[in-house]
Homo-oligomer: A and B are copies of this chain.
Amino acid sequence: MRVVVPFAAEQPKTRLADVFTPAERRELARVMLDDVLRALREAGHTPEVLTTATIDVNVPTIVDDRPLNAAVNAVLADGSPVAVVMADLPLATPDAFARLFASDADVVLAPGRGGGTNAFVTRHSSFRVDYHGASYRDHRERAREVGASVATIDSHRLATDVDESTDLVEVLLHGTGETRRWLEERGVRLDTSGDGRVGIRRDDTTAV
């Protein structure tokens, strides 16, 4: 099965502007992509990157500068079984991906926290995506509309995309790849001083 990882090469991760410089955010996006590609390869797959601009990466790339929905739907239009995995899932492990691929439903969804669709497999030629809004809910409905059976993967690792600073807590706690090391090298630490959930802080000495 084709496994496609969309990647936004420009202006990545703007909601992390309170923690990282633009150059750092580009680095972070890239190290997360590399973690996702590595976990997919270790799970036995041969991922391709669907990128908005040419990047230097050691896997096949498809360059498509259209918005995400159009670029992914162009891949799906082929009608063959395909998996689409977001590039900002640094907690993903080969085991978590194995669960995604183990289900034999026509459409297998891995919801992201906050209503997104962090990864999916489709074996139905008519399934298409729309990542706007509560896309997990919408994708379930679209799958049913085209008569596809649907399964959902219950995974915290696949549910954790990195968009906001609180997401970095999960990487520091559960990360097994380079993204965790990258954060630690830049002085990003757990902050357990609050009353509620754990947050992050950044040591100034290592700030750029």
Residues of B within 8 A of A132 (CB): 192
A134 touches B192 (CB 8 A): yes
Residues of B within 8 A of A198 (CB): 114-115, 133-134
- Once bound together, how far apart are the Cα atoms of A91 and B133, in whole Å? 21
Stretch at the interface among A37-45, A73-81, A162-170, A180-188: A162-170
- A169-B115, A170-B113, A190-B134 are contacts. A96–B154 as well, Cβ < 8 Å? yes
Q: Measured between alpha carbons, how far is A133 from B96 in the docked complex, in Å?
A: 26
Q: A133-B192, A173-B134, A192-B134 are in contact. Are A197 and B154 (CB under 8 A)?
A: no
Which positions 153-208 of chain A face chain B at CB distance < 8 Å? Answer: 154-159, 163-164, 166, 169-170, 173-174, 190, 192, 196-198
State whether B15 touches A114 (Cβ < 8 A). no
Beta-carbon contact of A156 and B116 below 8 Å:
no
Q: Which residues of B contact A96 (CB under 8 A)?
A: 154
Do residues A136 and B173 form an inter-chain contact, with CB atoms below 8 A? yes
Is A137 part of the binding interface, using a Cβ–Cβ cutoff of 8 Å?
yes
Q: Assess whether A141 is interfacial by the CB under 8 Å rule.
A: no
Name the residue of chain B whose CB is nearest to the CB of A161: B197
A114 to B192, Cβ gap below 8 A? Answer: no
A104 near B: Cβ within 8 Å? Answer: no
* Interchain CA distance A52-B115 in the complex, whole Å: 35
Closest chain-B Cβ to A180's Cβ sits at a distance in Å of: 13
Residues of B within 8 A of A156 (CB): 111, 113, 154-156, 158-159
Known pairs A111-B156, A115-B197, A132-B192 / 7 extra A-B pairs, C-beta < 8 Å:
A114-B198, A115-B173, A137-B190, A154-B155, A154-B156, A156-B158, A163-B196
Give me the 10 closest cross-chain CB pairs, A-B, nearest first.
A114-B197, A133-B192, A115-B198, A156-B159, A134-B198, A156-B156, A154-B155, A154-B157, A134-B192, A114-B198
